[in-house]
Structure 1
Amino acid sequence: MSSTRSYVYADGKVQQQKAHALLPFLQSQSQNTLTKLYSNPSSCLSMFRLLDPISRQLIMNLLWLESAIPASTMAAWVTWEGKPIYTEALTTLAKLHIFPNSAIKLAVVPTFQTSFRQAITGGGSFGVSLEKDDKRSDVDIEFLDVFALERWETILHYMVSSGSGQNPTKPSVRVLFLLQRSGLMTTVGQGLLQITSTGFQFLLHSPHEQLWELLLQYLHLTEERQMDLVDVLGFLFMLSTMELGREYSTERLSKTQTAMLEDLVDYGLIWRRKPSSKRFHPTRLATTLTSSSPPLPSQSTNYRMYAYTDNPLQTAILNLFVAFKYRFPNLVVGTTTRDSVKKALLNGISADQSISYLMSHAHPQMRKNNPLLPITVQDQIRLWELEKNRLKSQEGMGLPLPLHLPSLLTRPPSPSHPHSL
């Protein structure tokens, strides 16, 4: 879905970062399409958020210059270690038509430059925000989070339960069509849908990656549905720059964007009171489309573990690094503590092995979380391991006596050193 790049920073450390899944799709578009997209400040701001740190830094360095600079001038500031990354960033910006495709001069193309300047100085359109209506005071952030979570989990639960004999709530026909076209589900006997191997891999991704995987398929269908691609992308980018909890008007939306509203309601990106409403609320799924914030409401973290199993072997393995509190016929409740982790360490089980076991045997419901196992839990387990490894013992030996020591003891005193042996 996305490629991994390495970035070198001033302290010499290298950090891995994934290129956003939308970038290859945008790079495949024509210059005319991207120029139209960049005429909207909200699109430029969203595009900037999707880029890697080096590309963002290059844009900011050139954004306020009124003329192009020689490429050699910028290259002179690049270290030898950073040249491959620098070259890759220039290539990316050229493919996205943010920089001209030139090896001689560097500049930000005028359309992107003008719109992005407006975006970061408070200008441009980011949706028509409406004043808060007391009659709609029940629609707050908590309400929107519940709605988004319910819609998104309906889709995932339907995928997980397909073919199992259960009867989960069905998503809309539009969602089912997209799941089938994207290869996540396939038609079996009597028109029933069943999850595919690709669909199972999809369930292991983070909510952010899952959402963009579906939206990319949505973008690929725009021509088939006779929708304007620039309008579709522009609306998604505009949603990502809106404020969570505020209400917006549909009056200035294009025909394509108005048609998108019901589709996005199905995915939980937008809430509306009724299909004919002239108002809508973007949910957290929409406002985080181009940011690093979690797309679903965050949950509190604790160190308690619930294992739904009656397998004696799995229970015994868990007991190696989890302190059990309660045992039921098909449920074990325990807590990860300092003592339980130290007990595992004494038995030769490393922190990474404990974490890996918990993640590989996680309940399907947990696999919707990103990260699967809370970072705080992973870090604490590793910190408890570090406590044990702060001091290391190692066998040593004393220096051997010189082999000629007896001759030294019997040698007569040196004239220059009267007190020597």
Structure 2
Amino acid sequence: MSAQTMKGFEQLEGLPEAVFKRLYQQPATALAIFRRMLPNLAKTFVMAMLFNPDPVPISNLEHWVHPDKNSLKEEAFAKLRQLYLVTEKQGTFALDPTFKNELRKALTGGGLPGSFGLPCDTDDKNKVDVAFLDKYATEQWESILHFMVGNEIPSFKRPSEGVVRLLLHGKLMEQSRMSSDPVITQVGFSFLLQEANSQVWTLLLLYLDMAEQVKEMNTNLWKLDLIIIICASQLRMDPVDILHFLFLLGSLELGQDYDMKNLTPTQKGMLEDLRDYGVVYQRKVCNAFEFLTRWISLITLKSSSRRFYPTRLATALTSEIRSIRSPAASLQNATSQGDGNGFLIIETNYRLYAYTSSPLQIAVLNIFAKLISRFPNLVTARITRDSIRQAISKGITAEQIIDYMTVNAHPQLRKNSPVLPPTVVDQIRLWQIEGERMKTTPGYLFKEFSTTSEFNAVCRYANDLGVLVWADHNKGNLFVSKHEQIADYIRKRAHAGR
């Protein structure tokens, strides 16, 4: 599991004990938490207790760990306690009974029918294959990434308003003063640097956070773009239900169609949003009347027998594999040193060569570099002071730009040590420091006061008004953000002194 994904799960680790106890009531969720949220040593300890009818002495578990690895042991114990997986009593550990029972079911094939999804028992006349699902997921996901980098391509439709609201809620984007469309933030650029699986989890955890925050809504059911808010308001989305469904999706089979009739109202409502992300595929798209009719049906708890297909984005949620392998689908294609997917070459003269035809990767380069020319499989660009300053003005840091170029460096460039030319790296940092070192403030300078007492009086008056920016008491200079009231005060003092 990537460090980025582990970091995303820190949000779940802060959930209260009562929530975890409810989460452990489903075998799919118990298995997913075991696979995704526990370090390897903690998994070993869990397996040691799983089929043991008696509590296990902590000293026995400690004997399994080399003395030099005590830090790993303490980390494993802390994680088990943090997730309320163990009960500690008289020097022993005992697994939570519910978690123990459900994880056993997951590993031995027990549990109720539909515990890991309910496959459709009838043939789909319009059945889709894995290739179609991969294409669909890639298009949906890339449309979000293209929107974030401000890259308008006719073949990619604009994300739904629900997705846009989620990006704004998570501060991945923010409203621009210059345009009606939001722009990417520093947090959003960090999001682009993640692998696709981590990106999906980031959005899904934001979805959970947004659903929890929506409490009272006054909205019109006919406003179709408020999908998440309508769902949360009318169906009172249960966060535990949301997590159950997300973990369940990770255990489903790619290419298999599943029935919706076993899903809760919350989970049925989630399908609309997950379809926007490319996590699931549903053939039928509702028009306005069908949308309202379907939501009334869900609110009155009338089940639907429609089917859905999980995409690779869903089935990879609880696995170690990457969900999308397309070069354009995830911006961090070079997550390991040996995968050979890097495409950037940077020279000491600040020229940059990108061996790519991906519109998404080119759009990202355009954030911090000046594009010069484009060929079928090559883009040339130059890193300039203005291009870096423009990126920094959007909240992107020099370190993020350097990390992006390092992660996506061409295999030939990786043979160097360091990977990037030091002159380029240092200059990018200096351009950022340049902006931090000096900040311009518009205002007005007052100088050549007749007496020191006059200068001090005006200085106090400006400070009381809150317009004083800077004062030099030795030279008698005063800099203020507004001048009208200061000028009037000086004139009044002059008239009073006559």
TM-score normalised to the size of structure 2?
0.58
Q: What's the offset of the Cα at 1:102?
A: 4.8
Q: What's the offset of the Cα at 1:378?
A: 7.5
The whole-number CA distance in structure 2 between the counterparts of 1:294 and 1:255 is 30
Q: What's the offset of the Cα at 1:214?
A: 1.2
Comparing 62-71 with 26-35, greater Cα deviation is found at 26-35
Q: What's the offset of the Cα at 1:88?
A: 1.2
- Check whether the contact 1:178–1:218 (CA below 8 A) recurs between aligned residues: yes
Output the amino acid matched with 1:280.
F
1:269 counterpart residue number:
279
Comparing 294-303 with 150-159, greater Cα deviation is found at 294-303
Q: What's the offset of the Cα at 1:53?
A: 0.8
The whole-number CA distance in structure 1 between the counterparts of 2:70 and 2:156 is 53
- Check whether the contact 1:304–1:333 (CA below 8 A) recurs between aligned residues: no
1:239 to 237, 246, 249: 249
Q: What's the offset of the Cα at 1:21?
A: 3.1
- Check whether the contact 1:184–1:195 (CA below 8 A) recurs between aligned residues: yes
1:179 counterpart residue number:
167
CA 1:99–1:278: 2 relative to 1, 3 Å:
same
CA 1:268–1:103: 2 relative to 1, 3 Å:
farther
- Check whether the contact 1:71–1:103 (CA below 8 A) recurs between aligned residues: no
The whole-number CA distance in structure 1 between the counterparts of 2:64 and 2:320 is 29
Q: How does 1:82-97 map to 2 (within 5 A)?
A: 82-97=69-84
The whole-number CA distance in structure 2 between the counterparts of 1:259 and 1:44 is 23
CA 1:140–1:165: 2 relative to 1, 3 Å:
closer
2:321 to 293, 297, 302: 293
1:127 counterpart residue number:
117
Deviation per residue, 1:271-314 (Å, 9 max, x gap): 001156710000000010111111114569998998899x9963
Output the amino acid matched with 1:194.
V
Pair 1:54-2:54 in alignment:
no
- Check whether the contact 2:4–2:194 (CA below 8 A) recurs between aligned residues: no
Percent identity, aligned pairs only, is 34
Q: What's the offset of the Cα at 1:25?
A: 2.2
1:314 counterpart residue number:
351
CA 1:358–1:197: 2 relative to 1, 3 Å:
closer
The whole-number CA distance in structure 2 between the counterparts of 1:315 and 1:89 is 44
Secondary structure at 2:166's aligned position in 1?
helix
Pair 1:194-2:170 in alignment:
no
CA 1:305–1:68: 2 relative to 1, 3 Å:
closer
Output the amino acid matched with 2:66.
T
CA 1:47–1:103: 2 relative to 1, 3 Å:
farther
The whole-number CA distance in structure 1 between the counterparts of 2:120 and 2:203 is 30
Q: What's the offset of the Cα at 1:43?
A: 0.2
Q: What's the offset of the Cα at 1:166?
A: 9.9
Deviation per residue, 1:204-241 (Å, 9 max, x gap): 11111211111111111222233101100000000000
- Check whether the contact 2:211–2:239 (CA below 8 A) recurs between aligned residues: yes
Q: What's the offset of the Cα at 1:201?
A: 1.9
Secondary structure at 1:161's aligned position in 2?
coil
1:227 to 237, 246, 250: 237
2:10 counterpart residue number:
24
CA 1:179–1:317: 2 relative to 1, 3 Å:
closer
2:58 to 71, 78, 93: 71
- Check whether the contact 2:137–2:311 (CA below 8 A) recurs between aligned residues: yes
1:212 to 179, 190, 201: 201
CA 1:331–1:183: 2 relative to 1, 3 Å:
same
TM-score normalised to the size of structure 1?
0.68
- Check whether the contact 2:119–2:259 (CA below 8 A) recurs between aligned residues: yes
The whole-number CA distance in structure 2 between the counterparts of 1:315 and 1:242 is 43
1:406 counterpart residue number:
none
The whole-number CA distance in structure 2 between the counterparts of 1:241 and 1:379 is 39
Q: What's the offset of the Cα at 1:37?
A: 0.9
Output the amino acid matched with 1:285.
L
Output the amino acid matched with 1:269.
V
- Check whether the contact 1:38–1:112 (CA below 8 A) recurs between aligned residues: yes
Secondary structure at 2:54's aligned position in 1?
coil
The whole-number CA distance in structure 1 between the counterparts of 2:80 and 2:353 is 54
Kindly tell me the number of residue pairs found equivalent between the two proteins: 325
CA 1:248–1:165: 2 relative to 1, 3 Å:
closer
The whole-number CA distance in structure 2 between the counterparts of 1:43 and 1:305 is 36
Q: How does 1:112-123 map to 2 (within 5 A)?
A: 112-123=99-110
CA 1:253–1:304: 2 relative to 1, 3 Å:
closer
- Check whether the contact 2:4–2:198 (CA below 8 A) recurs between aligned residues: no
Deviation per residue, 1:95-149 (Å, 9 max, x gap): 1111125572112110000000000001231010114625133x01000000000
